[in-house]
Amino acid sequence: MKRNYVAGGAAYKPDQGWRPIFIYRRAGAGPGDLSLEAGGNNEAFGKLDYSGDYAFFRALGRRLKYAVNGGTDFEAQRVFAGLKTDERRTGGEARIELELFGKRREPLFGLFGKPGVTGLRLFAEGKRQTVALRRDDVTVAKQNLTTLNVGLNYLFSSSGPGYRKEASLSPQVEFGLGTGRDEPRFTLFSLTGNFREKKPWRYVIDLTGHAQLASSRTPLFELPSLSGDVIRGFRRDEAHGRGLWSLQSELWLQVPGANRSRYKSFTRSPDDKPGLVENLFAFVRDHAWVAGFVDVGGIYKTIDAKSGLRAGPGVGLRVDYNRIILKLDWAYGLGETTAGRGHGRFYFNLTTNLPF
């Protein structure tokens, strides 16, 4: 049985640069698994994590996952009050996740007609962090945070000849506990939902929604932030507010001309095996897509930009092969930001997934 796994990836965000990540995991390190994550974004960051699955299964009769970790994370060139600021978070967290049910066959609220496989998990996560903000190599603010996150993950999938549908819904609430001196007490509600329908060699429809609401004492660096993660066409921290929503809608289509039958007659080798060009077009047909998308949303009760609607139409490329997922997007931001009007921006993300 394989015990050692290596994975990694890289991401590019406008004005923040590249963020490569390396992950090593050792399966079966005692009753659980040990993993190390390291990377950089102008400065290094890293995390050590220990996790386990099916803990106390005989006593509970349900699947229970746990994880504890500690480390430091670094994010370059965030923007607070119009000033570029580096952020470093150092601390640890503990998480438990209880599966109430999984692989139950039922319709999702009657939306799809045919029943599918559903799962529901509850989770709780406690964190203790020190957040340091730095400009020009000088620390301008430092804040301790003790938080508790509680929420659930609902998953649904349905498949049949020539189609697959998936949906998820993940509400959660983060409580700032204020346990230490000068620590803030606050509440941050978040909701994320996704729906995807895929018909191989035809199209993929992908819809993702986000919503966040923050209480009045939420620290600036924890507030809902207008960024390319929720509305493409904008950089991180284009605006901060106490309320945010967005809907990201994508239509993926087969790459034009990727049908390998058009190339079969002149790409076959003398022994009638598929040639290089035919194999290439077969790969593109099966694993690559061109995407058109429109992101819309709004941010409200802002502190550094005008409240109101924003939008980000754009185009992209998707490659999903084995455990490699690549996304390349270009979007044009419509709406005002702290730096004035939006403009065209590129985004890149490459991940390699571990097999568990």
**By the 8 A CB rule, do 156 and 192 touch?**
no
Residues 6+ apart with CB under 8 A from 289: 204, 252, 253, 254, 255, 317, 318, 319, 320
Q: Give the tens place of pLDDT for each residue, 41-82.
A: 888 999 999 999 988 888 888 899 999 999 999 999 999 988
Q: From residue 72, how far is each of 67, 75, 204, 336 by CA, in Å? A: 16, 10, 37, 33
Residue 31: CB atoms within 10 Å: 10
CA atoms 51, 54, 57, 63: torsion sign: positive
Whether residue 268 is predicted with pLDDT greater than 60 in this model: the reply is no
- Residue 138 CB neighbour total at 10 angstroms: 7
- What pLDDT, on a 0 to 100 scale, did the predictor assign at position 114? 61
Q: Closest Cα to residue 69, out of 53, 91, 87?
A: 91
Cα–Cα distances (Å) from 35 to 12, 29, 54, in that order, read 24, 10, 18
Those residues whose C-beta lies under 8 Å from the C-beta of residue 343, and which sit 6 or more positions away, are 233, 332, 333
User: Minimal CA–CA distance to 86: which of 46, 136, 11?
Assistant: 136
Contact 353, 326 (CB under 8 A): no
Q: Is the dihedral of CA 234, 237, 241, 243 positive or negative?
A: positive
Residue 285: the pLDDT is: 81
What phi and psi, each to the nearest 5 degrees, are found at residue 209? Answer: -120, 145
Q: What domains can be seen in the chain, in order of their start residue?
A: 4-352 (2.40.160.50)
Average of per-residue pLDDT values in the chain: 88
- What are the E-state strand segments in 14-63? 17-29, 32-40, 44-52
Note the pLDDT of residue 259. 65
**pLDDT grade for 266, boundaries at 50, 70 and 90:** very low
Residue 305's pLDDT is 86
In this prediction, residue 255 has a pLDDT band, given cuts at 50, 70 and 90, of confident
Structure tokens at 172: 């959660």
Q: pLDDT of 297-325, one tens digit each?
A: 999 999 988 899 999 999 999 998 887 88
Q: How many CB atoms lie within 10 A of CB 232?
A: 26
pLDDT reported for residue 336: 78
Cβ atoms 75, 41 nearer than 8 A: yes
Q: For residue 94, count CB atoms less than 10 angstroms from its CB and return exposed for 0-12, middle for 13-18, buried for 19 or more.
A: middle
pLDDT at 352 over 80: no
